Amino acid sequence: MHEVIGALLGGEGSVTIDMWHSFWDCLHEGGGPDRCERAVAMLASLIMCVPDKASVGALVASLDARREHPPEQDAVNIVGTGGGPRTFNMSTAAAFLAAAIGVRVVKSGARAYTSRLGSIDVLELLGVPLVRSHEATADALDRHGIAFAGSFVYPPELTVLAKSILPVEMKTLGRFFNSSGPFLAAVPARCQVTGVSDPSMLPLLQHLAENHCRRTVWLCSNGLGVDELVSFDENVIHRDDGSATRLDPSLLGLSPGSLADLRPAGGGDEAVRQFTALLCGDGPTAAVESICLNAASLAVASGLEPDWGEALREARCALDGGRPLALLERLRSPELVASA
């Protein structure tokens, strides 16, 4: 353990794959009486200074080597890094809408770190069950065209790490793992659209996308720091081949708006009412159009519809027709709705 912490804090040399393996082995074995202190020190060092690309690449590679990977599905994942201005859960709404226009979607996510509600929190309130195995994922895709992945897609080492630092919570120290989470999940998707809130993380995430990811990756950013595409500000899509595309919403016929239009509702019933209303197209224009834009990105990224304008029109037509809300109703579990 001390080798990893020393390299991260000292800045002399990169953390190698073997060093990460040794760190994980120590966690699994108990790591001695100072395991908690060393685990906390490692997490704190990742917050204090973003490590070099080689160290993070070795981290991802070490976790990949310690688990089996599922067969690839002809599907796309949408997931953000978290952080940035607080908005309603746009990526989850876009996942429903994209599936409603025929995109096969595997959605990964987590509970809230910086926002009021993360995607898993929202799904829990809606009464939508998570899939808990790769077999269940494939079945959900075949039946509904969408699957919401549970925690099984993440490396078990992260659970061990979280238990190692108790009573300190990962929500306090796990910011780096939350922002790099899109590259840690073994999601059986062919491509992934990831919103990035912090532009300083882009070089590192681009390195991971190009060298340590089994999927085609789009990294999306904008000047507002929202970790999804927004309909009222220029977005940049960074592809894993090194190219970048600027997406000007005004050229797509989208309306002006502001961050206030994306503001989340309160918890519980308010969040459910806001989310279901938006799936009917009922809400601020900028919120509705941002959902459509993100759903369109999944259609384009997956190859289902290569033209952005046509993908947007299909998304808006599906929203106006209530198709994503109908999909939500098919997915809801009566038992989960009753307990929410």
| pLDDT tens digit sequence for 16-28 | 999 999 999 988 8
Please state the φ and ψ torsions of residue 238, each to the nearest 5 degrees: -100, 115
The answer, yes or no, to whether the previous bond of 167 is cis (omega within 30 of 0) is yes
| pLDDT score recorded for residue 108 | 92
Q: How far is CA 228 from CA 58, 100, 219, in A?
A: 27, 19, 10
Q: Tell me which of 7 and 326 has the higher pLDDT.
A: 326
- pLDDT for 338 equals 47
- Which strands form 244-247's sheet, in the order they lie side by side? 146-148, 105-107, 73-80, 189-195, 216-222, 235-239, 244-247
116 pLDDT higher than 70: no
Q: What is the dihedral of CA 278, 279, 280, 285, to 10 degrees?
A: 40
pLDDT tens-digit series, residues 32-89: 667 788 888 888 888 887 788 999 999 999 999 998 888 889 999 999 998 899 999 9
Mean pLDDT of 272-298: 97
Q: What is the rounded average pLDDT of the residues 98-122?
A: 86
pLDDT at 261: 98
pTM: 0.93
CA dist., res. 246 & res. 227, Å (int):
16
7-14: long-range contacts, CB 8 A cutoff, minimum separation 24: 7/55, 8/42, 8/45, 8/46, 8/49, 8/51, 8/55, 9/41, 9/45, 9/48, 11/49, 14/51, 14/52, 14/54, 14/55, 14/58
In the predicted model, is pLDDT for residue 113 greater than 70?
Answer: no
C-alpha atoms less than 13 angstroms from C-alpha of 113 in its C-beta half-sphere = 20
Question: Model confidence at 6, in pLDDT bands (50, 70, 90)?
Answer: confident
What's 149's DSSP letter?
A: B
Burial (CB count within 10 angstroms: exposed 0-12, middle 13-18, buried 19+), residue 131: buried
Least confident of 87-91, 124-128, 165-169, 232-236: 165-169
Q: How far apart are CA 36 and CA 163, in angstroms?
A: 9
Phi, psi of 196 (to 5 degrees): -120, 120
User: Rounded to the nearest 5°, which phi and psi values hold at 177?
Assistant: -70, -30
Q: Are 292 and 231 in contact (CB under 8 A)?
A: yes
Structure tokens at 168: 């300190």
Is 150:131 a contact under the CB 8 Å cutoff? yes
CA 265 from chain centre, in angstroms, equals 20
Average pLDDT, the chain: 91
Least confident span in 18-22, 75-79, 109-113, 298-302: 109-113
